[in-house]
Structures are given as structure tokens and as C-alpha cells.
Chain A
Amino acid sequence: MRYDSLLDSLGGTPLVGLPRLSPAPDVRLWAKLEDRNPTGSVKDRAAFFMVEQAEKDGLLPRGATILEPTSGNTGISLAMIAHLRGYQMICVMPENTSIERRQILQMHGAQIISSPAAGGSNEAVRVARRLAAEHPDWVMLYQYGNEANARAHYATTGPELLADLPGITHFVAGLGTTGTLMGVGRYLREQVPGVAVVAAEPRYGELVYGLRNVDEGFVPELYDASVLTTRFSVSANDALRRTRELLDAEGIFAGISTGCALHAALAMAAKARKAGQRADIAFIVADAGWKYLSTGAYSGTLDEAEARLEGQLWA
């Protein structure tokens, strides 16, 4: 397939069946390979739509500086687009994120400001908000509250899924900014009566939940619980185990957040089978495993890998 430029090749990702992990001929799992996007993750869709919208709104004059709290993929997507379009990019990211992500961001010309590991992305959001207030000329696209993030999935990922899988019964994705689930979920709910929209939420180690009190919590502005039908909390151990199963059984080398989504997808598959219902369950492969090699997720025993992930933001 031919495109005028890398950015023009955004989306249109393959949906592949998982014949070995699907539990029955009429209960099938399908993986949407979002690692086949320009910078290798699902975040390219949101980043592209957010930049386009900001340009339309006149928020990004020539040479403008984009600021974003991000510990990974959104930053990489934004940094690539910003570099091509002549913007400066500053990422605020927790210090406990993998070295690969930092190096890729730097390759795309982004500047990195570290936020304390304790508090995870909550803390990165706080630091970014403070910086935005101190530098009114910097533009924070703010993926957690930017409607263009969810709209990217409403306009592209959702229609792609339905076109490839008209009989879709379940959609499963990781819950972060909530953009993928809100956008795809809204689209599918309009088109497919009774479709299940399932969130898989990574359950981190204690460090990430090191808030001083529960009133300091964070719920993304994009989040609308009425779009979801179920929300699963997935441990690092389960996410790692599924990430390895996906590689072992189907040959798909995915990042750890994909294992999280697969775990929830398999739970839905087991429920459907038990109830004797047919199911076509699509889930998102958010990115490939390359960026997480240094976390040790793919070597040694599961317990060893889990111990190495303690305190890390693995999804």
C-alpha cells in the first residue's frame, strides 16, 4: 500500500484472529494491531487528531511549544509529529519509566522534564499543569481531557473494527486516558445493539498509589462510565502471563498493557462460553514489546519478571 507520507499511513491497522487462544469455534478473539502505526502505538491516532484540532483552533503558531504529561507512547507520537511540523515538544514524565522511551523521545527531539516516581502519572499531570500555568505560551494538549483523543477513535478505530468484524460482540482495551474506550465504545454502542465495552485497568505496585489521601485521586475528564459495561483490574502477574501467552501461542510480540487487555478479553470469552453464547471479542494491541525489553518482562520466570516490574509503570 502506498501513502504520500508516514503520517498519511495512520490507522487502517490489521485485525488478526487468535485461533489458538480462542476457546471455541464460535467464541473467537481478535487482535487489533495498533503497533502498526507510524511510531508504533495506538497513541498516534490521538496525537494526530489533537494536533490537527489545535492547529484548526489556531492554538499552534509556527514554532510553538507543546507540553504534555506523558510517560511514553503519547509523548513519542506527539514528539514525532511536532518535529515534522516545526514545534518544540516537552514531555513531563515520571522518573520510573523505561530507558527506551526516554531515548526514543530524545531521538525525536523532545525535551524531558522528570516528575517524582511516587504518585506516577498523577504527579506528572500535576507538574505539567504547574508548568503550563508558569508558561502561558506553552500549549498543553492534555490527552486526559482532550475530546479529539476520544474522537480519533470514534472516527477511525471504531469504524475500522466494525468493517472488519460486523459480528463484534465485545470490545476490550486498556484504560488509561480512557480515549480509546470512550471513542470506540460510543461508536460501537450506536452501531451494534448490546455490544459489551470492557475496560482493562492495570493494577500497579504500592508506589504508584502512594497518594497522601484518597481525595488526591484522579479520574480523566474524558471518562464517562456509562460507555462501559465492565471494568477489570488486572495484576502485573496476569498481564505478564498473558503477554507471554500471546507471543507463545500466536507469535504476537506485544507490550505489557496488551497482556492486560488480553486477560480481560479471555475472561469475557470464558463467560460467553460458559453461558453458551457466541462471541467475537476484539481487543487492542496498544504497542509492541520492544520498548519494554529493559524491564525484564520477557526473560526469566513470571515471578522474577513480576518482581522487576514492582514500582514501574508497566502499562
Chain B
Amino acid sequence: MKLITAIIKPFKLDEVKDALKAANVTGITVTEARGFGRQGGHVETYRGAEYKVDLIPKVRLEMVVDDAVVDGVVDVIVKSAGTGKIGDGKVWISDVSRVVRIRTAEEGRDAI
């Protein structure tokens, strides 16, 4: 089992979510996040004065999937979240040692 974490542009959330559903991903967790990468920040203006926004709003997606489908799911995310412009985000994959469904105490693949 793997944990896939993706940081994407907020307005891409619906598109990515629909694509993941179509790819039979059974569940995702979404968190609002802020951060910076190579995109850096940007400057906004308010009442004639400027201010720098260093931490840009992003959305963080997390899902645990079976090893067999990891690459397919990553492809789906990269395709649906991409705009080709700077700031599209990242996807990374981590190992998961154990998963338990709280309601039934099922473990492993059954719990996904």
C-alpha cells in the first residue's frame, strides 16, 4: 500500500477529483494548504500599497492505494491537475505499513 500526496492548484480540485473517481480511487482526503516552491510568491495591492504573498494557497490531496494502481493514479493526477504553467504542484508517494478501517477493524487492502 502507498500513500499518494498531491499538492495542486485549488481551482483544479474538481477536475482532479472527478478524474480520480473515474479511475476507481475509493476515497481521498482534501486539505487547504499554503506554501511556496519555485513559483515563489506574488505581489498584491491594497489601498495603494503593495504586499507580498509568500505562501500561496494550494490544495493537498491524500489517498492510500494498492501498490498495483499507484502509477496509474499518479498519471491521472498529473494529467488532470496540469496546466503547463508554473505552480502546478507536486505528487509524491510514500510507503504505508498498516491501514485499519475504524468501523469494522478490517485491515490492509480491505480497509482501503
A and B assemble together? no
Chain B interface residues toward A at CB < 8 A: none
